[in-house]
Structure 1
Amino acid sequence: MMAGMTARAIARADFTLGDAPPSGYACRMIEKFSKIRLAAGAIAFAAAFVSTTALAQPAQPLAPRTAESDLPLDDARANMELPQVALAFRVDPANRSISGQGRYTVQASEALDAIAFDLDPRFAVTLVRVAGRVLGIGEYANPDGLLRIPLDENLAAGESVEVDIHWRGQPHVALNPPWEGGFVWSTAPGGEPWIATAVQGEGCDLFWPCIDHSSKRIDRLDMSVIVPNGLVAAGNGALVGTTANEDGTTSYHWRARDPSNYGVTLQIGPYDVVERDYESQFGNTIAIRFWHLPGNKAGARRLVAEMETYLDFFESKFGPYPFSDEKVGVAETPHLGMEHQTINAYGNEYRESELGYDWLLNHEFAHEWFANQLTHQSVNHMWLHEGIAQWMQPLYLGWLHEDEGVYDAEMARFRRQIRNRVPLVAPEGTLPDYNDRSAGWGTDIYYKGAWVMHSLRYLVGEEVLFDAMTRLTYGTDDPQPGNIRPVNRTTDDFRVILEEMTGDDLGWFFDAYFYQAELPRLTVLRDGYDLTLKWDSPAEAAFEMPVEIIVDGEVRRIEMENGSAHTYLPRPDAQLSVDPYMRVLKEELPQSGA
């Protein structure tokens, strides 16, 4: 539990856990919605929690719609905004099941005669209430993963309605988390339940009704998670309070602003917590909290100290930590990791790297800027998350060790991982498959994306690039704590910002690297004193990337107007090296000539 946080009652509310009418004892919940009542005997959670036999998860594949995120917003979801959502989860480890309640403030951006939420159809929807009226079972339907709910009265643009949804069932079990996601039901070394969610690829609809699209966010989320006593639920945002319930459970109430949909998570275990406060260079204090399993305190303390150096690096390079009013949070998980907003999942087992950092923790923490603050407009632009975060690793190492050679060595290692089989940005109207190994897109968004950033650094210069990244990430050149809201971005947004800051047309660069699979090829021809360099690219525009050469120890930068250049050597047998410092992402070809 966070330092200084005490259990306290939270005001009364009118919506319930379970499906019976509100009666019996109360669980604490959300300030606005007051107290959640629990029907006495509605569900025998106390008995289930002490059961030693878990129900087996049926081998049921995901519905096609549920298996995909960022499907086109071609229904009511396009015109729905969610300024406020309250979620309440009861997690039953013994039966590997959950029951949930959600209260949604739905605001119409355009006229609406119905609303819709994405939700895995394996869940039983047990109650739908719109504007205070409980709908009959035949008035709503979720046959395919799109929960359709009619409205008695149409909503005009700008109008809002309150919607309650209750659901329950056994959520999809992750097949290979975090890459093939879902619920992870595991056991801590002491025998206690150890539970996590990781749903980036498949989406938030794997365990709660949501709008499963990257362009949609929630302005404010209140989330109550009820777990058996002895377990801790670490969540997004700031801890509002905890409550010991009368049925052998504990409620954890978290409040978060602007969470991304796949960033909403449940992290549950017999956690202890390491706490430290960080004094930011921007004048504010940031809470660092690491929820770890018993026995791992030393490792957690070491990583908390390491995270202070991450904050030093990111804040000095790009701008303030975006969620400083909530926390920097990490929870130890039974899977490798995931960038859940303000509560990153960590499963790297505290392994110390010879390079002096934990690559997994560094990568997930980078996502607080490049995924949670800057969120791609659609999964097609996922390289903005993964490629930039991947590039942060060698960039951080060079900064940490004050040695550009460490940076160069990591970039050389990254270069060997690039596949170039499909474009980095999939065409609009298509959804790339992260797990398609033959296509390799799920690899290239990391390594090729990082290399594109590396080449941009050479093209426009570090100062311009980092300033452009600040504007891209915050939507302003001067972000300040307390005045930061997340932004959705596309690859083209990045191009426009860079063109504004450089005054140059960079369409040729973006076309070649993002919308073509094949890399540009550089032909080098020597003929006596003559040296000819020529770019060949499948992109329509001429590739005008400058090229560094070293001639007899002298470094030259050769501009490549219209994709080619001609220069002279001091002598026919001069020593020549082209792109000696590996600045440019290209297909490697042998040099030719006399």
Structure 2
Amino acid sequence: MMKGFAAALLMMAVAKGFSQETFSRKDSLQGGMRSERSCFDIRRYDINLRVIPSQKSIRGFNDIAFRVVENTSRIQIDLFGNMQVDSIVWDSNRLQFKRDFNAVFIDFPTPLAKDSDQKITFYYSGNPIVAQRAPWDGGFVFSKDTAGKDWIATAVQGTGASLWYPCKDSQTDEPDNGVTIKLAVPNGLMGVSNGRFTGSQDLNDGYTRWDWEVKNPINTYGISLNIGDYVHFGENYKGLDLDYYVLRDNEQKARKQFEQVKPMMDCFQSKFGPYPFTTDGYKLVETPYLGMEHQSAVAYGNKYKSGYLGRDLSGTGIGLTFDFIIIHESGHEWFGNSITAADIADMWIHEGFTNYSEAVYIECTLGAEKAMEYLNGLKANIENKSAVIGHFGVNNEGSGDMYPKGAWLVNTIRSMVNDDEKWWKMLLEYSTTFRHKIITTEMVEQFFSQKSGFNLKPVFDQYLRYTKYPILQLRKHRNRLQYRWQTDVSDFEMPFELKFNDSGKTIRIEGSNRWTTSKFRIHTIDSVSIPTERFLITVNRLD
């Protein structure tokens, strides 16, 4: 699922407000869209893999089906440099290839014609990178359960899916026709991956193969591998299959904790539209790390605690009313998995909307007042040290502020709209318009500008490409209140709320970068106050 803007990503200039950083050829090979990548569109992956826990090694192959977009004799497929390329076969021919960091440039003996469908079989083996603190760094997690049995999982977002299987490791392209994952694991263990379970087979060599199939497009980091002594339970809830794979000793705790999935699904489907991957079902899979939004196989490692491992990230106590990993990582099914950013520089599209989905769940279950209290608690987590948007074309994410500041950008748009009926309709339409699409910040901005009636480009630029909040400056001039927005961008316009302290009356005012004199007489600048509960702003009184 490759979009026409993919090739243009490499040409995007560093956005205003970014600090200067140095990137290497390795970075551009992984994050860029040169001709060897843009010349073909992935149609399908069929991964067949054996995992050998005692050696912490893997071996297997990936059948990579693709359609040629432009005539070519060379393509780029990615596999980390520490992994062995055993052979690459096309039409019964072993292909020549050249390695350059984690990129594998594959040469064909004859040109591939535009619009032709092709398939290569990529055989590989080796010891994949082991994550030291997943999911914050990428790699395999080789662990043991309490009974001493192997418990293994992958978490590769940002680092790269090509650390464990060969692929076009770019969010610009998803396999249109789905994926199969066949996992051969030692007998007594279960292999769990994305999509639907299609059967298992005893290989008569001490290994059993577990087969899975994904029908929908899926981003590369969303494809996952989970191995353990799992037990399975589940049910069909209002037409959606809910399946759970947990360690044997944790079944009873999981049955109780995972009841939260039902009200969550009711809430999210009412606000964001139908679950995006009904044909693949919904799963929670227990993992030896905290969690990850693996499509239709959400990784769960919150130890059956409320909040975030028993902590409330908002500091309000409201975050302890739900299991953070269930709600947050499942929110990614809509924002990140269904709607995917073309470049990880735009990962706020995933994390900002998903962080906001936590407040949506609270609003559904506890009411709007508690949701706003939770969001205001998250403000303390915004650091404003660097821009939310990263550098394009070099596999570079922006700052961690993509979570709370991204959520607050979404809520600020809601506050600008100031009409909840209109807002929920907009958010639902956003989720359904871009369902199973690969998008950019500019596309998000244009959508919400059109639907809200505001020119949101300066608003998006200020919050995402600069560190400072918009500053609302107030001063008294000849007994009248004057006001303006001070921002790094020009043509910034945003309403704000003004409260008269003597009467308690609150009114809404449209502000811009120009000083504007109000019709209101004030005794002192302290005669008025600016409620900030619904906006992410700074207030500066000049008198």
Please indicate, yes or no, whether the TM-score normalized by the shorter chain is above 0.5: yes
| Equivalent pair of 1:424/1:445 in contact (CA under 8 Å) | yes
Rounded to whole Å, the distance in 1 between the matches of 2:481 and 2:449 is 31
Letter in 2 for 1:572: H
| Alpha-carbon distance, 1:221 to partner | 0.6
Q: 1:515 to 1:67 in 2, by over 3 A?
A: closer
Counterpart of 2:222? 263
For residues 326-346 of structure 1, the C-alpha deviation after alignment (integer angstroms, 9 at most, x for no partner) is 111111111111110110111
Quote the sequence identity (%).
28
* Structure 1 gap segments, 5+ residues each: 1-62, 280-284, 434-440, 477-484
1:394 matched residue in structure 2 = 359
Assess, with a 3 A threshold, how the Cα gap between structure 1 residues 153 and 360 changes in structure 2: closer, same or farther.
Answer: same
Q: What is the deviation of 1:561? A: 4.3
Match of 1:405 in 2: 369
The one-character-per-residue Cα deviations of 1:349-405 (angstroms, maximum 9, x if unpaired) are 001246421012111000000000000011111000001101111221122112x33
The Cα of 1:502 is off from its aligned counterpart by: 3.0
- Closer, same or farther: CA 245–141 of 1 in aligned 2, 3 Å: same
Q: Confirm or deny: 8 A CA contact 2:476 2:525 kept in the other structure.
A: no
Change (3 A) 1:209 1:429: closer
User: Is the counterpart of residue 582 in structure 1 residue 533 in structure 2?
Assistant: yes
Q: How has the CA–CA distance of structure 1 residues 505 and 574 changed in structure 2, closer, same or farther, with 3 Å as cutoff?
A: closer
Change (3 A) 1:573 1:65: closer
1:266 Cα offset (Å): 0.3
Whether the aligned pair in 2 keeps the contact of 1:118 and 1:210 (CA below 8 Å) is: yes
Whichever residue aligns with residue 340 of structure 1, its letter is H
The offset of 1:525, in angstroms, is 1.8
Pick aligned residue for 1:422 from 371, 374, 386: 386
**Paired residues, what number?**
505
- Output the CA distance in 2 between the equivalents of 1:571 and 1:459: 26
Indicate how the Cα distance of structure 1 residues 584 and 69 shifts in structure 2: closer, same or farther if over 3 A, else same: farther
> Against the structure 1 CA distance between its residues 200 and 141, is the aligned structure 2 distance closer, same or farther, given a 3 Å change threshold?
same
Q: Supply the RMSD in Å over aligned alpha carbons.
A: 2.2
Query: C-alpha distance in 2, partners of 1:360/1:470?
Result: 23
- 3-state SS, counterpart of residue 142 of structure 1: strand
User: Per the alignment, in what secondary structure is the counterpart of residue 63 of structure 2?
Assistant: strand
1:101 aligns with 2:61: yes
Q: Is the 8 A contact 1:88 1:223 kept in 2?
A: yes
Deviation at 1:65, TM superposition (A): 6.9
Q: Pairwise mapping of residues 424-573 of structure 1 onto structure 2 (< 5 A)? A: 424-429=388-393, 431-433=395-397, 441-461=398-418, 462-475=420-433, 486-526=436-476, 529-539=479-489, 541-551=490-500, 552-569=503-520, 572=523
Give distance in 1, aligned partners of 2:28 and 2:274: 33
Post-superposition Cα deviations, 1:233-289, rounded to whole Å, max 9, x if no partner, equal 11111111111221121111111121110001101111112212110xxxxx11111
2:347 paired with 1:382:
yes
Letter in 1 for 2:342: Q
Judge which range, 509-518 or 174-183, deviates more.
Answer: 509-518
Query: Is 509-518 or 552-561 further displaced after alignment?
Result: 509-518
SS of residue paired to 1:416: helix
SS at match of 2:249: coil
- Provide structure 2 residue ranges, at least 5 long, that are not aligned to the other structure: 1-22, 308-316
Question: How far, CA to CA, are the matches of 2:244 and 2:497 in structure 1?
Answer: 45
TM-score, normalization: structure 1?
Answer: 0.81
Q: Radius of gyration: which is bigger?
A: 1
Question: How far, CA to CA, are the matches of 2:254 and 2:527 in structure 1?
Answer: 50
Equivalent in 244, 254, 257 of residue 290 of structure 1 = 244
Once the two structures are TM-superposed, the CA of residue 64 in structure 1 deviates from its matched residue by 7.3
Task: Give distance in 1, aligned partners of 2:81 and 2:391.
Answer: 29
Given that 1:69 and 1:203 are in contact with CA atoms closer than 8 Å, whether structure 2 keeps it comes out as no
Q: TM-score, normalised by structure 2?
A: 0.88
Contact 1:66/1:118, CA 8 A, preserved across alignment: no
Partner of residue 254, structure 1: 212
How far off its partner does 1:454 sit? 1.2
Moved more, 112-121 or 262-271: 112-121
Q: What is residue 49 of structure 2 aligned with on the other side?
A: 89
Shift of 1:580: 1.6
State the alpha-carbon separation in 1 of the partners of residues 374 and 203 from structure 2: 51
